[in-house]
Amino acid sequence: MKTVRVWFRKTGTARFISHLDLNRCMARAIHKAKIPLWYTEGFNPHAFLTFALPLSLGISGERESMDMKLEDNALSDAELMERMNAGLPPDIRVYAVTEPVMKPGQITAASYRISLEVENMDAEQAAGRIAELFRSETLVVSKHTKSGWSDFDLAPYLGNIEVSAAKTTVEISSVLPAGSSLNINPTLLTDAVGKYLHLEFYAKIRRTCLYGESQKIFE
């Protein structure tokens, strides 16, 4: 028996698949591929599948991971990857299989790329105004918590952010707190842009990497 970490991308239309549906999609692909997955014992056995940090609906992921426990040590990583991709939709692709190094509970931050197609202002001007906004001493937005909606100040968490203009888009790179202690959804940044600058835009958000303490890449 061994535990493996399956690395995959969730892009394109798959970004609109909920985490629950992603779990079901992976389980079906594993079943179809006849992978010797380990199941818990007892009255209601279930597969051991653990995702590092679920993605919010509508956000793509370039470096997502899922841990699973196998009963057969003979199955190679390359064969496991090939079998899984054969049963997955085109926008969910497994690209590596490794041995877990860090625990999901050690995740403290995540990096994102946000691309804004601004409709009522050219990209260069919009980028300048957004960069200035993110330098504000306070930047209060509404954040959903377990007890409901509350005001949340983004400003203390925007020390690692870059804003630039492409031909027709504004590109935002950021590293935000993530994990069990504090998790800041990148949509709060776009909420702030809409609230304070009254810009009309279409946003595409990608999570590019997860990190542990001292910005150590999650492995």
SS (HEC) of the chain: CEEEEEEEEECHHHHHCCHHHHHHHHHHHHHHCCCCECECCCCCCCECEEECCCCCCCEEEEEEEEEEEECCCCCCHHHHHHHHHHHCCCCEEEEEEECCCCCHHHCCEEEEEEEEEECCCCHHHHHHHHHHHCCCCCCEEEEEECCEEEEEECHHHCCCEEEEECCCCEEEEEEEECCCCCCCCCHHHHHHHHHHHCCCEEEEEEEEEEECHHHCECC
CATH of 2-100, one of 3.30.2350.10, 3.30.70.580, 3.40.710.10, 3.40.50.1980: 3.30.70.580
Whether this prediction's pTM lies above 0.85 is answered by yes
Residue 44, pLDDT score: 74
Enumerate the CATH 3.30.70.580 domain ranges in the chain, comma separated.
2-100
Q: How confident is the model over 65-123, as pLDDT tens digits?
A: 999 999 877 889 999 999 999 999 999 999 999 999 999 999 999 999 999 999 989 99
Class of domain 106-215: alpha beta
